[in-house]
Structure 1
Amino acid sequence: MMKRYLLLAALFLSATASQAQDSVIIRKFYDEALVNGQAYENLRYLCKKIGQRLSGSPGAEKAVTWSKKLMDSYGFDKVYLQEVMVPHWVRGAKEQAYIIDGSKKISVPIAALGSSIATPANGITANIVEVKSLKELETLGESIIKGKIVFFNGAFDQRFIETGSGYGAAGIQRFAGPSAAAKYGAVGAIVRSITPALDDYPHTGGTVYVDGVKKIPAAAISTLAANKLSNMLRLRKLPLIKFYFKQNCQTLPDVKSYNVIGEIKGSENPNKFITVGGHLDSWDLAEGAHDDGTGVVQSVEVLRILKATGYKPKNSIRAVFFMNEENGHKGGLKYAEQAAADKEEHIAAIETDEGGFTPRGFSFEDASPALLKQINAKFKGLLEPYEADRLVAGGSGTDIEPLKETIPSIKLIGFRPDSQRYFDIHHTANDVFENVNKRELHLGAAAIATMVYLIDQHGLNL
């Protein structure tokens, strides 16, 4: 019995000493990020010197060149480009739109949806049919929809505390709405911007055309303009209200581009990998600051912090700047395909693609209740002093999800900053450097570095 007590006491003392050591190292990470952090200035350059980085654009090409030079300057053990073919969609001249109310024309702000086709050269003018869901669209059918513009006006559900859930629920209109409307003979689609905010910034984002269904032009309309249009349709008889819009977008042949990868070799397990990444491409309306400039500069900052504090990881740590998350996901698919081809063993991947706001914690994809309980027991107390200790089940990220198909044992993790402001800015002309807070950005980088360290030291099969 005494031997058992002594063994338990020894285990307790060992665990306590380990936690004390973890705390010291984590504090160093935060001190480095907050005092010497470089993510904010890197983001300034990416946004102000390069700007929008839509796949296939000159901006995306410049961003790849800059990213590799940046990683090289930090002296990582390995820096390289991973070739990937990406879509090349261009917006063209600025869109035009107005509501036609008898003899009056009321201008409204719109933005073509990514992958949309153009309107005819003279634009489209048609009666408009408002629906709040795809189900309502189906109920109306071809007899009402044919020859008209469908106006998808399902509002962002304000009841969700985590705004990403609201985005997911409303997003089906943008992803699938235009093709669904085309099945019933619609000549165009206008989609309410996916945001809880009421403003005049239309939110772009990709739509997906279904094979075998005629493509129709599709655009997002700002939330204030959507409310105005809806009220006019409600107060007046349908034939009196028409809508006009013109857009000039086109899809060009695919273009060669690259994922940018930096790596610190593991001291014990160089052939086992922990990946942290965000996407280098952005939509073209602004600078892609929060989506996802903050994610890529945080990812490279993680490796910089590890080097600056003298931490030598057991496993190899990679920062990946994925290309083409916004309108094709080709970078994430390529990274997973190559990892499988090289028979790499991946322990975990962390994606940061929810903005550079105050860190709250991490979500673990497909984590069992038992594993979550163990993760919280081991990690929560270490993250709690930094208010990044919300460790929950949930999604990870578009770019790392393909890894699950090729490496089933991998653990996928999403970095979860505060979500309340993200979808006010997401995919709009307002996604600019000035809307990023330096301290929040650097706190996020330190939180991600901490999670990488904890996984490197303790694993996730706790």
Structure 2
Amino acid sequence: MTTWIGETFTSDFGWDLLESLVDVGDRMAGSPGEREAMELTRGAFEAAGARDARIDTFDIQGWERGDSAVRVDGTTQDCIALPRSPSATATGEFVDLGYGLPEDFDDDLSGTVVMVSSTVPDYYERFIHRREKYYHAVEAGAEAFVFANHVEGCLPPTGSVGTEEAPVGEIPAVGVSKEVGARLVRRFEGEETTVEVNCETPDAESGNVHAELGPDTEEELLVTGHLDAHDIAEGAWDNGSGTAMAAELARILANREDELDTRVRFVVFGAEEVGLVGSTHESERLGDDRANVRAVVNHDGVVFGRTLKFDTHGFEELEAAAKAVGDRFDHPVSTNPELVPHSDHWPFTRWGVPGYMVSCETQGRGRGWGHTFADTLDKLEVRNLREQAVLLADLVVNLADEGTEIPHKAESEMADRLEDEDLAAGMRITGDWPY
């Protein structure tokens, strides 16, 4: 009964895929590298013993990086363009808005270049996503947007702008390091500043990789992650780790298939980093058949820390299942019942489908080295992948048990919770309000 645990503790299967993914290089949505990552992932599912491994393609708005710059008082400051920034040049008075809380945008910002931090203060009750800050700036009339990292190390952050209806943003947007941000404030507050972004926005193609195990039941359990990554780094943590975990779970569960009472479908999504495009495509493809999805187990940023974190979105049964697997293996896990509308579970969970976002415990708010040049393989350990795969495989087997019931929630209940958790206003600004 425990042979599979020993095999997992000596398995290099998931880690080998992770190494292959980071060695692809650029896995930006719509790029040749993303397509190579799809092929690698499909091959891994086939090698794991999952059936019907395939790629489902779809069209997306492409974005290809060119040069970018922040120019002020005869100097050029280092920066990187934020994906789906328009190709444009804008000039205005440099204004530092600090954390960029919603109330910081109350004044008319016409004629300004605004800078905001990538984090929020400890006292603030919720995290404010980059795109929310961007669209507050757009609504307030800013000419350009500068996103300053709060993490030291000369690491400018990336991350997309744009909405589902208008994938390319309205004003040029760049990321600067914490150090460059501090320099801009110290030397150039109030000075005329130019932000320049050069990029291409071709039509492009992305895709989702599917495979399945277990009986051919109408009801199914989705095990997911995303394979695309930002073009500036290896994308090891975000989210090569999640793709590698899905493959490792497929290997384990292929050897435990007779324990599965419910079909387990693996879906590794493309184009997550530019607005959850792949998972939205799959959710819309299912339509009313989302009612047959027992739960979504979505992996986004595992392996980096040793302790698994489960965002459970108010589904008490999911919280109980996560804690139970930690107890079975005498291994710490953490749970969070609040809504996290920023990864590939969300296009399902927003309609009431029970969903986890599985990540790992890290220090501080924000992504740390994620979305920077420093998201590289050397930050991860194969030990963590193996340990976490043991817990997650057993969790999936238990969720797939015929005796497991996880009631869906009404759409209205999810909408009310977004209001209660002060997330609704920001989602309306970013065009993400679905109800």
The bucket for the TM-score relative to the shorter chain is 0.7 to 0.9
Provide the secondary structure at the position in 2 that maps to 1:386: coil
Relative to the length of structure 1, the TM-score reads 0.78
In the alignment, is the contact (CA less than 8 A) between 1:87 and 1:328 conserved in 2?
Answer: no
**Match for residue 27 of structure 2?**
53
Q: Match of 1:96?
A: 69
- Cα drift, residue 294 of structure 1: 0.4
Question: 1:405: Cα distance to partner?
Answer: 5.3
Gaps of 5+ in 1: 1-24
Spell out, residue by residue over 1:24-45, the C-alpha distance to the aligned partner (whole angstroms, 9 max, x if none).
x4x5444222212411111101
Q: Are the equivalent residues in 2 in contact too, given 1:191–1:219 (CA < 8 A)? A: yes
Q: Which residue pairs with 1:130 in the alignment?
A: 96
Partner of residue 16, structure 1: none
SS at match of 1:91: strand
Distance 1:342 1:392, change over 3 A: closer
What is the CA distance between 1:443 and its match in structure 2?
Answer: 1.9
CA positional deviation for 1:149: 1.3
Conserved in 1, the CA contact under 8 Å of 2:325 and 2:394? no
SS at match of 1:423: coil
Kept in 2, the 8 Å contact 1:289–1:431? The answer is yes
The Cα of 1:137 is off from its aligned counterpart by: 4.7
8 Å CA contact 2:17–2:41 kept in 1: the answer is: no
Residue in 2 that maps onto 1:412: 355
Aligned residues: 400
Could you tell me which amino acid in structure 1 is paired with residue 331 of structure 2? Answer: Y
Residue 67 of structure 1 and its aligned partner are, at CA, apart by 1.7
1:313 and 2:260 equivalent? Answer: yes
For 1:31-430, what aligned pairs fall within 5 Å after superposition?
31-48=6-23, 50-93=24-67, 95-100=68-73, 105=75, 107-120=76-89, 124-132=90-98, 133=100, 135-141=102-108, 145-153=109-117, 155-158=119-122, 169-171=127-129, 174-193=130-149, 195=150, 197-208=151-162, 215-233=170-188, 238=190, 241-253=191-203, 255-266=204-215, 270-308=217-255, 311-340=258-287, 345-357=292-304, 358-368=306-316, 371=317, 375=321, 378-383=324-329, 385-388=330-333, 390-395=334-339, 398-404=343-349, 408=352, 410-420=353-363, 423-430=367-374
Cα distance in 1 between the residues matched to 2:46 and 2:319: 39
SS at match of 1:247: strand
Amino acid at match of 2:154: D
Backbone CA RMSD of aligned residues: 3.0
Match of 2:171, SS state, is: coil
- Output the amino acid matched with 1:115: R
Q: Distance in 2 between matches of 1:201 and 1:373?
A: 35
> Do the aligned partners of 2:303 and 2:384 also contact (CA within 8 Å) in 1?
yes
- Provide Cα deviations, 1:259-278, integer angstroms capped at 9, x if missing partner: 00111132xx6222111111
Q: Distance in 2 between matches of 1:159 and 1:308?
A: 47
Distance 1:375 1:67, change over 3 A: closer
Q: Which amino acid aligns with 1:400?
A: H
Contact 1:417 1:444 in 2 (8 A): no
Q: TM-score, normalised by structure 2?
A: 0.82
What residue identity is the alignment partner of 2:93?
N
Cα distance in 1 between the residues matched to 2:386 and 2:103: 45
Provide, for residues 159-189 of structure 1, a one-character-per-residue CA deviation record: whole Å limited to 9, x for no partner: 69xxxx8xx6242xx3134443344443212
Distance 1:398 1:261 in 2: 18
Q: Deviations over 1:299-356 (max 9, x none)?
A: 1110101224565411111221101111132211121223336577211111111242
Distance in 1 between residues matched to 2:50 and 2:106, nearest whole Å: 58
Rg bigger for which structure?
Answer: 1
C-alpha distance in structure 2 between counterparts of 1:270 and 1:450, whole Å? 20
Alignment partners' CA distance in 2, 1:365 and 1:347:
15
Note closer, same or farther for the CA distance 1:28–1:456 as it changes in structure 2 (3 Å cut). Answer: farther
CA contact (8 A) 1:360 1:417 kept: yes
Q: Which amino acid in 2 is paired with 1:117?
A: P
Alpha-carbon distance in structure 2 between the residues aligned to 1:46 and 1:226: 32
- Secondary structure of the 1:446 match is helix
Post-superposition shift, 1:290? Answer: 0.7
Q: Return the offset for 1:449.
A: 1.0
The answer on 1:440 being equivalent to 2:384 is yes
Alpha-carbon displacement from aligned partner over 1:185-211 (angstroms, at most 9, x marks no partner): 432121223x4x222111110123697
Instruction: Pick the structure with more helix per residue.
Output: 1
| Structure 2: unaligned runs, 5 residues or longer | 408-435
Q: Deviations over 1:108-152 (max 9, x none)?
A: 3312112111234xxx454312213354554432xxx33231222
